[in-house]
Structure 1
């Protein structure tokens, strides 16, 4: 397997123990104030907890400018970082770093007690508006945005041509539904593809299903009360689940999502022809599919597009160096830093200046046939508009999503029919004993 993992934004993996947490809310309206960063309170070192590679020059330039060494407390994946953060917050800040990277899907859980976090100063006009809203609690900014994940579909032009269904970007866009593309038309295209091809249409329907869930305004929880909806009565999720599960029954998916041990080998073996690909995944595909020609990113996406993933840098209030930690979080999310992140990890920026930068929009990607991915994903983000912010994510969103997504995997693996898998999801949800919304 060859996977550069950005797993916190890949497949939500909150522990089942977190699922059973009753909905709680912190008092007050936000975190504490960090004070002013001065020479008198300047530390020799700052730590930042994250699970991705940092641009080589970024941390060195901060040290050159301020004389403070920055040490990355590195985690193998987002799930590991989430566990350490959860444990630290529940034990008065023990073991926490000065700055933490927090993934969108588990943001609400980590922000359950706003006083655990430092209130961050507003930086006008740096980010797209909805990113600031996502990174705020009761109107108080507690996270500075890093990337966003505008959604695209990566497809292999050579495989599509061999199957006789599409030969270029325009014909592939029409193949999956054109301007009226929906998840149903995307899945029906998969049925047409496997009827003539000798490989699968998509790597994993569980991943595609997760992307579709992200577009719902209130997938699992009531925005008013924060309580989970009763799964047996959640008609929108059942309908979406059955749509994807029935496609899985029809054999259009290899059932191998990113993070699976065989995902990299699947590219090399040409096992599938499409992957639902948020912007941050494009670089991971290029690495894992190295040497396999024909991969491109479509400018057409079901239901008009959306967002998957994105993170924030936040400062725990219990830290000893909160004033300088805020300055570091600011530095790591500047437009200049965002351009560096894009070229290092492929993360698509949430910073307005960076999005408009020719250094991103006009950069040609050799692996994807010279496509300007920055421009393609910028257009996809613009097409999605405010819907890119995604729907309501309560404290139990990540865990419930994992439970439901695992149901799709049951069908992909041949372990259950679509109906049996849905019944299993409902049963497992009921066993958790949530106090559900009326």
Structure 2
């Protein structure tokens, strides 16, 4: 989701049920910050949506059939590209912006720094899990309609782990990484045990796994009260976590090839690693990149009880010419019925309460993952995560600082530095940014 386009369809799902989307119009009222009513008089011929993932074709077609408005997707290769275009558009009075923008959780706060840039969205009671509504609001005003959430699991290749003598199925693999008491330390120690008996790596990238771990911290990089970054040199919690992962990187647990890397797909095809930390939205991407490779399964065990990585929102820039209809489109794209279609198209796990409970999510068997019911597994993982599923505080500088520290893990993975040298590099790079830090 974050670093690569969600172009892969989830492999070999059961036949998708026909969905009646005519009830997807619960919102669409007037918004604040430049919002307007959607009327026949101001109805445009086309609306544009900026995003970096595949849209269910029938979803866009049904909106056009319902309202007589075509929807054009302004497609980006990845979230970072979409973020750059949005940032530039907001700083230039809305120039070049689409009618609706998909905004990823990690850069949500930065994009919402000036709430007046966004239309206030009508509330849709009981549609989303409560914490998703809170995430999509600024000072209690809803400015983003939630799409997916990213409950965390671990995908593993049971043929590879079985050959290494450590795990033959999801239940045994869960025990291997620590069972109900699994921690990041037990997970990484399992990685050390795996590489000691195998000629390939335990995991694709520890920088990616570290990012997932960071998401579990209540306030990793910034003070929730002031929003100011903590001085990274004094951030004992992040340093301890960093060194835990960096030491494992130095021990050769990881291939050092994260999602988005040019060699990530080849790594699956070459059976270069046995596990991947896998938020729900990544399952389809793995299925595409590992096409033809048998043995991939999803574990229901996750370190520290589970958490969330990613999740996005559809928001409407207040400078748009079609804000009323854009609100209606954002509402339509995030209905429970639409969420089921997103799940089948991209593997995204819904944030909509009715969709989460839908048998079409929970009971769908995924052929690529050996017939596992991924919706049920991720539903259980999300439930087990509890409040931590919402993730920690993300201020305006969260995404940038996170990239800086994960780059430090990558430096160790590449053999370019020892863990201690990599941390010193992180501190130096942070200091160079010249932040006014929290006391």
Please give the TM-score of this superposition, normalised by the length of structure 2.
Answer: 0.93
Kept after mapping to 2: 8 A contact 1:31/1:116:
no
Determine the structure 1 residue equivalent to 2:382. Answer: 381
The Cα offsets for residues 2-56 of structure 1, whole Å up to 9 and x where unpaired, read as: x96249xxxxxxxxxxxxxxxxxxxxxx952623211111111111111111001
What SS is found at the alignment partner of 1:32? coil
Tell me what 2:322 maps to. 321
Alignment of 1:67-146 (within 5 A): 67-146=68-147
Kept after mapping to 2: 8 A contact 1:127/1:350: yes
Shift in Å, 1:295: 0.5
140-149 vs 73-82, which moves further: 73-82
Partners of 2:4 and 2:259 within 8 A in 1: no
SS of residue paired to 2:298: strand
2:40 alignment partner, SS class: coil
The answer to whether the Cα contact below 8 Å between 2:5 and 2:78 also exists between their aligned partners in 1 is: yes
Give a deviation string over 1:113-159, Cα, whole Å, max 9, x none.
00000000000010010000000000000000000000000011111
Matched residue, 1:163: 164
- Residue equivalent to 2:366: 365
Partner secondary structure for residue 153 of structure 1? strand
Q: Which residue of 2 aligns with 1:212?
A: 213
Structure 1: distance between partners of 2:211 and 2:73: 30
Q: Distance in 2 between matches of 1:412 and 1:307?
A: 24
Give the paired residue count: 414
Which residue of structure 2 lines up, in the alignment, with residue 21 of structure 1? none
Taking the TM superposition and a 5 Å limit, the aligned residue runs for 1:289-368 are 289-368=290-369
Please report the RMSD computed on the Cα atoms of aligned residues, expressed in angstroms: 1.2
In the alignment, what sits opposite 2:419?
418
Q: Residues of 2 paired with 1:335 and 1:210: CA distance?
A: 29
Q: State the 1:222 CA deviation.
A: 0.3
Deviation at 1:108?
0.3
Give the structure 1 partner of residue 278 of structure 2.
Answer: 277
Query: What does residue 222 of structure 2 align with?
Result: 221
- 1:167-226: CA deviation from partner (whole Å, max 9, x where unpaired): 111111100000000000000000111111111000000000000000000000000000
Q: Distance in 2 between matches of 1:337 and 1:159?
A: 37
Q: Secondary structure at the match of 2:71?
A: strand
Question: Is the contact made by 2:404 and 2:426 (CA closer than 8 Å) also made in structure 1?
Answer: yes
Please give the alpha-carbon distance, in whole angstroms, between the structure 2 residues aligned to 1:193 and 1:351.
38
Separation of aligned partners in 1, 2:100 and 2:272 = 40
Q: TM-score, normalised by structure 1?
A: 0.93
Residue 436 of structure 2: aligned partner: 435
Hey, which bits of structure 1, 4+ residues long, moved more than 3 A?
A: none
Map Cα deviations across residues 323-379 of structure 1 (whole Å, 9 max, x no partner).
Answer: 110000000000110001111111111001111111110000000000000000010
Secondary structure in 2 matching 1:216:
coil
The correspondence of residues 49-64 of structure 1 with structure 2, limited to 5 A, is 49-64=50-65
CA distance in 1, matches of 2:86, 2:386: 32
Gaps of 5+ in 2: 8-30
